[in-house]
Amino acid sequence: MARPVCVFRAGQVCSMAPAVNAITGYHIILNARSGNRDVDGKCAVIRDVLGSAGSRYRLHIVKDARKLRETAIRVVNEARQDGGAVVIAGGDGSINTVAQAVLGSGCVFGVLPQGTFNYFGRTHGIPEDLAEAARALLRAEVRPVQVGLLNNRIFLVNASLGLYPKLLEDREFYKRQLGRSRLVALWSALVTLWRSHRILRVRMDGEDGGRDLVTQTVFVGNNALQLEQVGIPLASQLDNGRLAVVTLKPVGPMAMLGLMLRGAFGKLDAADSVVSFAARELTVKPKFVLSAWTKVATDGEIFWLRAPLRFKVASEPLLLLKPPA
């Protein structure tokens, strides 16, 4: 029997995850709508790499994004029965959906990044090139990865309310019109930030007490790379069972564009209108609103949740197939 790998997480006892050579094969879910749409080409690359290595695998192609969740649940059940790893080939939103099904199942999780920004994969050293990512999968090690929770929804990169979900919503609109690229995402952000935005009045309660806040957005980060790129110096806190909380005081369009430039140069935290801190748990209650439902976003996916909104670190990690350092 293969020796299990003992993994530790802050504030948690040791959990036992299977060694990579104990994995019987790979159940690969491919989101046909992530990245470029050359599904046949992607399948050919995966077959070539895994077939050449003599690895067992099964491809599950999802052409309708609405069926990704039910496919993930079914594939996780199959993987539990045969000892295989569950792998998602898709962007951060697809990764989130499949990880939601994997978390707590005992299955090992793998990623073949195919999105626009690929923050999750890049943070963990997983190549963006599909062939390289598939080869990295074969030599990966099982490592625990911190998972954030917003009520009953997980997030691996970030969760937010206010301006940030609006940015994502507009970005998807422009991508449908102009194509999926980082340049289109940048143009969309410029257009969105130039407009006026609704001000949030919220009550925030954490381990350090409560505060009433007037802000344009509440952003909770769980991804070191994204935080480092914009200049929020809280990335090291993510290894200690904490989340990075960023809020933005109300500012005008010109000041907003200035903040975007600061973020582009990795100096966002130096701005007076940006407030950031680390927290293990955080409860956000919108004030003076007629409805208890609030528009939120997790890892690029937008939906509505009933307040109060509770952010925290999940009690167990995701067991990720991660390339050796």
305 lies in a domain? no
Instruction: Copy the structure tokens of residue 112.
Output: 């073949």
Neighbours of 200 (CB within 10 A): 23
Q: 12-48 burial string, b = 16+ CB within 10 Å, else e?
A: eeebebbebeebeebbbbbbbbbbeeebeebbebbee
What confidence tens digit (pLDDT) does each residue in 216-234 have? 899 999 999 999 999 998 8
Same domain, 95 and 58: yes
Same domain, 54 and 177: no
Neighbours of 325 (CB within 10 A): 6
Amino acid at 263: G
Q: What is the mean pLDDT of the chain?
A: 85
Q: Name which residue leads in pLDDT, 118 or 286.
A: 118
Q: Name which residue leads in pLDDT, 153 or 22.
A: 153
Question: How far is the C-alpha of 215 from the C-alpha of 202, rounded, in Å?
Answer: 8
pLDDT at 194: 62
CB 117 within 8 A of CB 157: no
Q: Which domain holds residue 11?
A: 5-151+317-322
79 lies in a domain? yes
Amino acid at 299: D
CA angle 232, 97, 39 (to 5 degrees): 105
Q: Name which residue leads in pLDDT, 79 or 164.
A: 79
Using pLDDT thresholds of 50, 70 and 90, give the confidence band for residue 201.
confident
Same domain, 294 and 184: yes
304 lies in a domain? no
Same domain, 29 and 54: yes
187 lies in a domain? yes
Same domain, 166 and 109: no
pLDDT at 116: 82
Same domain, 133 and 173: no
Instruction: Copy the structure tokens of residue 274.
Output: 């940006």
CB 282 within 8 A of CB 245: yes
Instruction: Copy the structure tokens of residue 177.
Output: 């019109």
60 lies in a domain? yes
Does residue 144 surpass a pLDDT of 50? yes
Number of H helices, E strands in the chain: 9, 20
CA 266 to chain centre: 20
CB 102 within 8 A of CB 95: no
306 lies in a domain? no
CB 132 within 8 A of CB 69: no
Residue appearing with tokens 């350090």:
208
What confidence tens digit (pLDDT) does each residue in 99-129 have? 999 999 999 999 999 988 899 999 999 999 9
State the CATH number of the domain containing residue 85: 3.40.50.10330
Q: Which residues contact 122 (CB under 8 A, 6 or more apart)?
A: 113, 128, 225
Q: Name which residue leads in pLDDT, 165 or 80.
A: 80
Question: How far is the C-alpha of 129 from the C-alpha of 150, rounded, in Å?
Answer: 31
Does residue 191 surpass a pLDDT of 80? no
Q: Within a 13 Å sphere around the CA of 308, how many CA atoms are in the beta-carbon half?
A: 13
Mean pLDDT of 191-205: 76
Instruction: Copy the structure tokens of residue 86.
Output: 């569950």
Question: How far is the C-alpha of 103 from the C-alpha of 309, rounded, in Å?
Answer: 21
Q: Name which residue leads in pLDDT, 52 or 172.
A: 52
Query: What is the model's pTM?
Result: 0.84
pLDDT at 208: 77
The DSSP call for residue 137 is: H
Does residue 68 surpass a pLDDT of 80? yes
Same domain, 170 and 121: no
Q: Name which residue leads in pLDDT, 271 or 264.
A: 271
Nearest to 171 by CA among 161, 181, 159: 181
The DSSP call for residue 55 is: -
CB 296 within 8 A of CB 165: yes
Q: Name which residue leads in pLDDT, 324 or 325.
A: 324
Write down how long the chain is: 325
pLDDT at 18: 60
Give the number of domains in the chain: 2
Does residue 4 surpass a pLDDT of 80? no
What confidence tens digit (pLDDT) does each residue in 20-65 have? 557 889 999 998 877 666 899 999 999 999 999 999 999 999 999 8
